[in-house]
Amino acid sequence: MYICICKQITDKQIKAAIDEGAQSLRDLRSELGITSECGQCGQCAKAILKEHTAHVRVQSPLSQQNRRPVPTTVFPLFATD
């Protein structure tokens, strides 16, 4: 479905941009040009962003998320030195 008529941007393009790392309406505007003409698509694009971001978080298993090891200096009792 077309979300931005001015730039011919579909909901699939918006979801793909989110999957590639877009995290805000500003990111979508930079990547796709959404809301750069008349701005009527802004609310719908923002709703798709919110919904798809929440959906992706639920779908992602913990093992694939960006997890960093906690340095042992934070917990000196667990240091292996």
Q: What is the greatest pairwise CA distance in the chain?
A: 61
What is the domain range of residue 45?
2-61
Residue 25 located in a structural domain: yes
- Report yes or no on 6 lying in a domain: yes
CATH code at 31? 1.10.10.1100
Establish if 72 belongs to a structural domain: no
H or E segment and range at residue 43 = helix 42-59
56 occurs within a structural domain: yes
Q: How many structural domains comprise the chain?
A: 1
DSSP reduced 3-state for 3:
strand
Q: Is 81 among the domain residues? A: no
Per residue of the chain (81 residues), give pLDDT as tens.
Answer: 999 999 999 999 999 999 999 999 999 999 999 999 998 999 999 999 999 888 766 565 554 555 566 555 555 555 555
Q: Is residue 67 assigned to a domain?
A: no
Q: What is this structure's pTM?
A: 0.67
